[in-house]
A = this chain, B = another copy of it.
Amino acid sequence: MTDKSCCDGEATAARSSGSRVVHCRDGFRWDGVPVAEYKAPGTSWNGVSRTTLVGNQDEQTSFHVRYFEIAPSGYTSLEQHSHEHAVLVLRGRGVVQLGEQTHDLAFGDLVYVAPNEVHQFRNTAAAEPLGFICVVDARRDAGVAVAREQTAK
């Protein structure tokens, strides 16, 4: 049997017994999965969207899998928290700040953000979004914004 779409007009992911396959479409959108804002509007971030792929349905996983996309010239909050990030880049180019260091990022690169590391992701490309998977513990603390002057030498 090959892949079948559901026909109720709502759920488009192919399911069997709780499992599911959710196809990725052009523009890094997944069938039936809403794209949300990164966090509440504020001045600490710009041009970031969040797509939760695993963790907000009926899964029992101890982790959540999210896809973040940063528009050209956009950036996530400069922040820190005790929970860790496992990030894998899916599209575009950019940089990640880890403490006082900045590292270039491209497709497939892995970023592990250790507990309490001050970090920020920034899109340095002129046109293409920077998109990445970010896995976190399901139970985790909230991030705390960090002022730029607290990290600059």
Interface set of A (CB-CB < 8 Å, partner B): 1-4, 14, 16-24, 28, 30, 53-54, 57, 59-63, 65, 84, 86, 88-90, 96, 98-115, 117, 119, 133, 135, 137-139
Q: In angstroms, how far is the closest chain B Cβ from the Cβ of A147?
A: 19
Q: In angstroms, how far is the closest chain B Cβ from the Cβ of A104?
A: 5
Q: Chain A contact residues: over half helix, strand or loop, or mixed?
A: strand
User: Can you name 6 A-B residue pairings with CB atoms under 8 Å?
Assistant: A3-B102, A19-B117, A22-B109, A22-B111, A65-B86, A86-B135
The answer on a CB contact under 8 Å between A62 and B62 is yes
A117 interface neighbour in B18, B60, B98, Cβ under 8 Å:
B18
Closest to A23 in B: B109
